[in-house]
């Protein structure tokens, strides 16, 4: 985390962490929906639905009607990914940041490497 703070300003880390958590929560909902219906009583499914429904409602006007309902969270997560991958580096003045240079995922990968190595 300290290395990440030396590379990026704090506002970048906070924004990336928030966008990353939203993106991964949407992906989690889509993955969970493969096995459970939206109205499932399973605790984690209820949490995913409760957290992501407001985001899906915001994106409803630009969501194509032909998408199957379980694919809508992935479609919206794609917007968050695109923002993080293209707009954030542009705002920071980088031409390209590259894969796995997202601060959230880099910090998680570093923690996993430290635990396993």
pLDDT per position as a tens digit, 17-50: 899 999 999 999 999 999 999 999 999 999 999 9
Position 97 scores a pLDDT of 55
pLDDT confidence of residue 86: 79
pLDDT of residue 95: 57
Global pTM?
0.82
Q: What pLDDT sits at residue 79?
A: 94
Tally the domains of the chain.
1
- Mapping DSSP onto H, E and C, the string for 31-60 reads HHHCCCCCCCCCHHHHHHHHHHHHHHHHHH
Structural domain of 7? 2-116
The CA distance from 75 to 42, in Å, is: 24
- Give 95's DSSP letter: S
Condensed to tens digits (0 to 9), the pLDDT of residues 56-115 reads: 999 999 999 999 999 999 999 999 998 888 787 777 766 555 544 677 887 888 888 889
For residue 71, give every residue at least 6 positions away whose Cβ sits within 8 Å of its Cβ, in sequence order, or none.
30
Element (H, E) at 71: none
Overall average pLDDT of the 1-5 stretch: 62
């Amino acid at each position: 985390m300290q290395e990440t703070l030396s590379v990026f300003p704090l506002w970048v880390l906070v924004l990336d962490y928030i966008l990353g958590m939203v993106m991964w929560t949407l992906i989690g909902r889509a993955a969970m929906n493969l096995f459970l219906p939206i109205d499932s009583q399973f605790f984690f499914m209820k949490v995913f639905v409760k957290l992501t429904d407001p985001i899906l409602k915001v994106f409803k006007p630009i969501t194509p009607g032909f998408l199957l309902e379980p694919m809508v969270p992935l479609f919206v997560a794609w917007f968050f990914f695109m923002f993080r991958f293209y707009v954030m580096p542009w705002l920071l003045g980088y031409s390209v940041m590259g894969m796995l240079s997202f601060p959230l995922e880099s910090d998680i990968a570093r923690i996993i490497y430290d635990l396993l190595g």
